[in-house]
Chains A and B, each alone.
Chain A
């Protein structure tokens, strides 16, 4: 670990989300991952033991590790997205731990928005339930590139292979309705530790990888769109100091693709073009900048550019769509229902615009994946396809092509609350 060239500083970051309900053993699984990878420290363990004893659990309840807020500990359920961290020598992991019940769809969507991998828990005794499909649909809707179905509680079905194969076949049968690129299945027992970190000794018939092996090795570096250079300008850096009288840097995070010194870029919406003069990260000047780096770009020419504008490459490669009419799949987050013809604020990349909902096309039944074109009342946790018209053009890609330039949120002007998450179609 000594020396900057050491492997330990060369870890990859993987974000995953876990969906499952109270009874699926999701919290136990996370507890198991943290415990077996030694991310649980002694004092946390002592605190859990204290609480387990007080609430009458016989064994130390690993699930208590993940229940953060007082009200959750009292009710024994997880009501909000909680973030957990652990690392192995290969990767650092960020877990977005979300509750699985239908009324928490919005939390699941939130956790899924940044995930590379989704873990979906299935109780081996019950097989594929409505909620399994719901979780799979949300993973698909949010375009999580990799989904791992953890068939849990194998110990309670005598580690039976047919049970596992049956569930796998049931999921395969519906997966054609989903657009997930990479689906895996692992038979586990989170409680006993089978195939979580250590290989199970009770399931000789399974010769696939353990869950931890998958998490450590699944190929994620091509999850980002490396083709289309998109640079939403977030902030303009102008020192106007004696040392830097003329520096004018466009600061932001590269949303997708890469850019090189000398590349010709166009500015949206003005359409002006210029060449990249420098790509700065403090004193370090880069030859090539790529997603997801935060950089400051200077151009050869003085052009008026401000927050909300976007730099894209002038030649080849696809351009983003520029439009005021946008088709979006939304997940509704608020107790205040969607108001038809209602006005909202849209936040999209670094841009902000006012918008009106011009049409509700259909509501999605997330348990059956059927479209409902009759009932168009959109309330908390509903998923629907809508059309919005914005006061100025936005520059976007479809969400399936680009998660960063294809996503948006709606904000209620009256309450300032984030009322919906949207994926551009």
Chain B
């Protein structure tokens, strides 16, 4: 029966497309979160496949911290225009101006935590009943127990001890008014799967993922980009380096990798040889042993 065999990427693709279609079928007003990072780019690619030749039947939404790499924004705007997709942009700056959150102070200040409030407000204001995100279970320990369909109460909170069992491919998206679901279509993908799939499908990525010369400085062993939102300590000095992003988040919490990889093949080889996880460069996870779980309980993605 080997003629009916598909490789691991095709099987993951089939599973994710199934989940995305299930969201479109079970919910009235879903949204797909888009950060301009590789995971959300792959998720959006899967959504386009799921509904082809029709357009993706839900909008995308970007929670914009205002601390993005300019390349991310350029990519986002271009792809949305090319595919004729609507992308809602929710600004963390608005939440700050409205006094709903207070900006962190100091050298390690980040808007990463603040975006949870912006996200929950945007979900409520737009009356979204399901928000799809590109989270993967292999990223972090707390994510390993996340469901595909993750129920959130009316405050947007996650209760990891009281999750709905998820069996076979039967997803239960029933909920009360005011509650919503977070859905993770690429739960079962690893970092390597994502890169191999990008390679297989020839998906275009923001230039940040490939090597480029950039003004950087070293903070606690991690290379950070010199962008307007960054504040240097006296001991930190700027240098030009060949770097690339292994993961794209905010400028304030995205460590850059010294690398000369300029093709997807190079990146796959680099990922295969690498000795740290991709979130190893993410300052937001290092705050404590359960940093991710604590943020997720509050409604972070």
Contact = CB atoms under 8 A, between A and B. Distances in A.
Interface of A: 1-2, 4, 8-13, 41-44, 47, 50-51, 67-71, 73, 79-85, 87, 91-92, 94, 106-107, 109-110, 113-114, 221-222, 224, 226, 234-235, 237-241, 243-244, 247, 249, 251-253, 258, 280-283, 290-294, 296, 307, 333, 345, 347-348, 350, 403-404, 407-409, 411, 416-418, 421
B2 A281 contact: no
Given A237-B54, A307-B25, A83 B137 contact: yes
B169 interface: yes
Contacts of A107: 165
Contacts of A421: 165, 167
B164 A8 contact: no
Given A13-B11, A221-B4, 9 more contacts: A9-B9, A13-B12, A69-B160, A80-B145, A113-B168, A221-B1, A226-B4, A294-B18, A348-B170
A92 B193 contact: yes
14 contacts: A41-B280, A47-B289, A68-B141, A68-B293, A69-B142, A82-B144, A92-B190, A92-B193, A222-B1, A253-B17, A292-B14, A293-B10, A293-B14, A294-B17
Given A222-B1, A416-B176, A239 B53 contact: yes
B277 interface: yes
Interface stretch (B34-42, B44-52, B88-96, B103-111): B44-52
Contacts of A252: 18, 21
B8 interface: yes
A293 B6 contact: yes
B137 A85 contact: yes
B276 A13 contact: no
Contacts of B293: 68-70
B202 to A, nearest CB: 10
B14 A253 contact: yes
A110 B167 contact: yes
B196 A418 contact: no
A23 B284 CA distance: 34
B235 interface: no
Contact of A237 (B51, B169, B280): B51
- The 8 A-B residue pairs with the shortest CB-CB distance, nearest first, are A239-B54, A43-B280, A113-B167, A416-B174, A294-B17, A13-B8, A68-B141, A294-B14
A294 B50 contact: yes
A294 B1 contact: no
B207 interface: no
B117 interface: no
How would you classify the secondary structure of chain A's contact residues: helix, strand, loop or mixed? mixed
A44 B138 CA distance: 11
A238 B51 CA distance: 9
Nearest to A243: B53
B54 A282 contact: no
Given A68-B145, A110-B167, A222-B1, A345 B174 contact: yes
Contact of A68 (B144, B165, B168, B294): B144
B172 interface: yes
A91 B54 CA distance: 34
B192 A87 contact: yes
Contact of B52 (A47, A87, A296): A296
B170 A347 contact: yes
A1 B5 CA distance: 21
The winner among A94, A238, A404 for most chain B CB atoms within 10 A is A94
B171 to A, nearest CB: 8
Contacts of B141: 67-69
Given A237-B54, A241-B54, A294-B21, A418 B165 contact: yes
A251 B196 CA distance: 25
B187 interface: yes
A252 B228 CA distance: 47
A347 B17 CA distance: 19
B195 to A, nearest CB: 11
B275 interface: yes
B180 to A, nearest CB: 13
